[in-house]
Each structure stands twice: as C-alpha cells, then as structure tokens.
Amino acid sequence: MDVAARIITLYPVEQCPGAVLPDDDESADLFGVTPREGQSEFAASPWRPVITDVRSWDPEDYGAPHAGTAYRALAVTTAAARMAGGRTVLLLDLTVTATLDGIILAERDAYDPAVEIKLGAATLAAAALGDPARLEAAESRQQILLLPGGLFDPDDLPADQAGTLRKLLVKDTDIGYRPSQMAVLVPPDINGPDRQAVFVWATNTVAAGFEEYGELGRLRTLGLVLSNCQTIAATMAARSIRAAALAELDAAPDPDLDDDAETLRERAEHRIRRVARLRHDLSRHAEVHARGTAVLGGRPLLSYHRAVVAESDLPTLLAATEHLLEQLSAALAVEQQLRNVQEARETAAQQLSVARATQGLLNQSEALKAASVIFASVAAVLGLAGLFAQAAAIPGAQDGTYFGSLPGSVVFVLAVALFAVLIGVAVRVASRVSVPRRWRATARWARWSLVGLTSLGIVAAAVGVLVPVGVAVAGLGAVLLILLVAAEFEYEKT
C-alpha cells in the first residue's frame, strides 16, 4: 500500500561569498505559517533561523537514483535557513508517494552523501543557492520524515511496527532490527496528543499525525525544522571552534627563557584574546542552541529539541571543545608564570646593574680621594722642598730673624708641615660628619662669619697692624672654614 510522506532534509552549507540570501522570512511559503512574536509556539529570538529563498521545482526535474522507480516525487521545494553567526542550512522538502520500502529509499537518496541529487542539469546546492555553494560534511545532516497519523502509537507499539520504525530511522530496507537493542527516544509532551507521534534516533526524526491538527500541526512541523537547523548550526560552530582550538594548541611556542618579558606579554595577550573569542563563540553559537535557550515553543518543542541534541554529536563536541579550551587556559597560565619569572629576572638584572654602577661611582670617588691626597702630598713636598731650599740660602748668622737661629726656622717649617697633615686628617674626618638639618642655617651663618674673620685677619696683617695677631686670626679662621665646608659636603654621608 502506497503512503504519502513528506521528507525534509537539512544540509549544512559551506561559507560561500557568492550566495546572497534575502532577509525576508518566507516560512509561510513553505509551511503555511509564520512565527509571530507572542502568538506562535516558536517565538522571535536572535538565534531563531530565518527561512528564505523558497523555490518550487518541477518534480520531473528531481534526479535521484530511485526517483520514478521506487517512489514518485509529487512536490520538490528548496529553501535556505539563515542562521545566527553567518551559517546557512539548505532545506530540501520532498513530497513522495510510495510503499514504506520506497519511502526508505527516498529518505536514503536525500540523505546519503554519496548520492548526488540534481535539479534539472545542476546539482542541488548549485541549483538552490548558486554555483559557488557547496554542502558541508555529511555527518551534520538532519532529516525529518512526516507520515500520516495512525501508523505508530508511542504507547502501543507492537514488535513488527517497532521494527518498521527502526528501518525508517536507519533508512535500511534489507535488515531487520531488534527494538530492545536499539533505543529510540520518544520525547514527552510532544507525544501527548493522541493522534500524534514523534520518534528521534541519531540525526533522524519520524513524526506522524501532524496533518490532523491544522495550524498547530503546521507550527509543530516548522518547530521541528527550526530545532534541527539550530542543532546543525551549533554542531558546525562547535566543529570549527574545536579545529581553531586545536590549531591554537598546536601553534603554542615552546617556552624560551631567552625571550624578554615584553615579548612574552604581547604573545600572551594575543593568545588570551583569541581563546576568549573562542569561548565567546562557543557560548553564543553552540551552547545557546544545545541548551535550548533559543527554543521558545513551549514544553512540547523544548522536549523534542532536547532529544534531538541528545542524539546528535553536539554534547560530545561541546565536551571535547571545552576540554581543549581548558587546556589552552592551562597553557596560558604556564606562559603567565614564565612571563613572571622573566620579569623577575629582568628586574634583578636591572637592580644588579644599578648596584654595579653605584659601586663603580664609589670606586671612582675613592680613586678621586686618593688622587687628591696624592696631589696634596706632592704640593706639600714641593712646598716643603722650597722652604728648605730657601732656608739653605739664608746665612748661618740669623740673630736678627724672628726665630733668632737656623734651627728655630727648621723647627717652624716642620711644625707647619705637621700642622698641615693634621688639618688634612681633620678635613677627612669632617667630611664624614653629617650636619643635622636643623643646624644647617647656623652652619651657613658660621661659614660666612669665618670668611669675614679670615679676611679681617689678612687685611690686618697686610697693613702692618697687629701682625702676629692678624696672622693667627687669618690662619685659625681659614682652618675652621675648611673644616666647616668639609662637614657640609653631601657626598659620603652615612
């Protein structure tokens, strides 16, 4: 006995710049209903697929291996579902009449990736979307078989009907199946109406009795299609994100301790941005669909969508992709630790360089001090030699001199030399003494007072007034001024 059936096959389409789809929703042209916000089961959502580019074809132009022999095509329609994230799904809506075995062959023709379906002279994708379009991997395809009501009852399914149901789901006419060894999901809620039946296995759905519910049945049919479109879009997104995560993981450079911290920082920032983008895309374009967030058709469609997702590869893909992203995050954490180590090394190297430079300055200061002592010693020796030369040129009889004898002059010269050495030692000690901040003003006042006192002594000795006193005052003022200035030097303070 021939049965009229509707077979809707959904094909993921590769990204194709040449295919430009219209923006208007043409669901009514294909299903007789249009989702209306607040009024239909599948309410408006940013992730809801938009049915566009609906085209009807002459059934005689439908080319498939068993078309016209095992089954007869009554209507052929194509459409495109535009998905969030730029994905596109091609719909082939085929109405056929045949026996159950012929319907199975019609399912297989539309689903089998080894079969090249043609519409006229062009292939399916080229005819529906234009020459550049190509279909993606076969494992992402989904198929919905709509049958008349009364063929299957979810609450009372004899063994022979259960076997037939599984043949329809598997698309096999030659092999029988044991129902107890091949689990088929029967989602609740959507199987509540007494004349309606929905079964899900792998990427295939068999639904019966929708035509008996009028507009509600047409809305349910649209809901089934949109749910499968979302599953395809989420699977495609998860696969592309997983491939990108694998590429990112394989492209991770080996840790190199010679890389500077800035290079490590820039590399880590770029990788963190890329991983964050992958996580965002996975959440927005895969997890949203997998968790049914975009399904707003009430409990019947939500339970059906969960069954479709559970039977698809999506849960496994999501788990694998999440694991890869966690590995990437762990690798980024290692890179962060490496960067911290490199920053610590560079900071330590800079501090060591500063310490070496400071030590060099201190060494130069010590060398400068040693040189100043040497220069002062040379000057003192030269001055002393000059004094002895001058003393040697003085006649032996010096009764009229200030000291009264040659030995007195020599003793005076030696005493002056000793006094100079003592002054040098005192200056050295004074340079290591820090003048407290509160005494700085007093020290400046004392400095200028000593300058004036020394100048007064020099003037008094020069004009012949109190010559010994003037010389003594000038000498003492000069010594005290030198010590005070040395004490005010800011270097060598401890």
Domain ranges, ordered by start, for the chain = 3-229, 232-349, 394-488
Structure tokens, 362: 């201190």
- Compute the half-sphere exposure of residue 137: CA atoms within 13 Å on the CB side of its CA: 10
SS3 for the chain, per residue? CCEEEEEEEEEEECCCCCCCCCCCCCHHHHHCCCCCCCCCCCCCCCCCCEEEEEEEECHHHEECCCECCCEEEEEEEEEEEECCCCCEEEEEEEEEEECHHHHHHHHHHHHCCCCCCEECCEEHHHHHHCCCCCECCHHHCEEEEEECCCCCCCCCCCHHHHHHHHHHHHCCCCCCCCHHHCCCECCCCCCCCCCCEEEEECCEEEEECHHHHHHHHHHHHHHHHHHHHHHHHHHHHHHHHHHHHHHHHHCCCCCCCCCCHHHHHHHHHHHHHHHHHHHHHHHHHHHHHHCCCCCCCHHHHHHHHHHHHHHCCHHHHHHHHHHHHHHHHHHHHHHHHHHHHHHHHHHHHHHHHHHHHHHHHHHHHHHHHHHHHHHHHHHHHHHHHHHHHHHHCCCCCCCCCCCCCHHHHHHHHHHHHHHHHHHHHHHHHHHCCCCCHHHHHHHHHHHHHHHHHHHHHHHHHHCCCCHHHHHHHHHHHHHHHHHHHHHHCCCCCC
CB atoms inside a 10 Å sphere around CB 316: 10
Per-residue pLDDT of 23-80, as tens digits, reads 677 888 888 877 666 555 555 566 778 888 899 999 999 999 999 999 999 999 999 9
What's residue 179's pLDDT? 84
Structure tokens, 409: 């002059």
Of 242, 232, 311, 227, the closest CA to residue 281 belongs to: 242
Q: What is the band of 493 on the pLDDT scale with cuts at 50, 70, 90?
A: very low
Write phi, then psi, for 131 (nearest 5 degrees). Answer: -55, -40
- What does the pLDDT average to over 224-232? 88
Ranked by mean pLDDT, the top range of 375-384, 387-396, 463-472 is 463-472
- The label of the residue with tokens 């509707």 reads 6
Of 124, 107, 120, the closest CA to residue 13 belongs to: 124
* Cβ pair 76, 56 in contact under 8 A: yes
Range in 123-137, 251-265, 338-352 the model is least confident about: 251-265
In angstroms, the CA 149 to CA 146 distance is: 9
> Is the pLDDT score of 309 beyond 80?
yes
> Is the pLDDT score of 228 beyond 60?
yes
In angstroms, the CA 284 to CA 278 distance is: 10
Ranked by mean pLDDT, the top range of 16-30, 263-277, 464-478 is 263-277
Position with higher pLDDT, 55 vs 428: 55
Ranked by mean pLDDT, the top range of 176-185, 335-344, 356-365 is 176-185
What's residue 216's pLDDT? 84
CA dist 411 to 212, 415, 420, 424, Å? Answer: 140, 6, 14, 20
What's residue 64's pLDDT? 93
Per-residue pLDDT of 148-180, as tens digits, reads 988 888 888 888 889 889 999 999 888 888 888
> Is the pLDDT score of 490 beyond 50?
no
> Is the pLDDT score of 19 beyond 60?
no
Per-residue pLDDT of 392-419, as tens digits, reads 555 555 555 555 555 555 555 556 555 5
Provide the whole-model pTM: 0.67
> Is the pLDDT score of 292 beyond 70?
no
In angstroms, the CA 44 to CA 62 distance is: 34
Burial (CB count within 10 angstroms: exposed 0-12, middle 13-18, buried 19+), residue 397: exposed
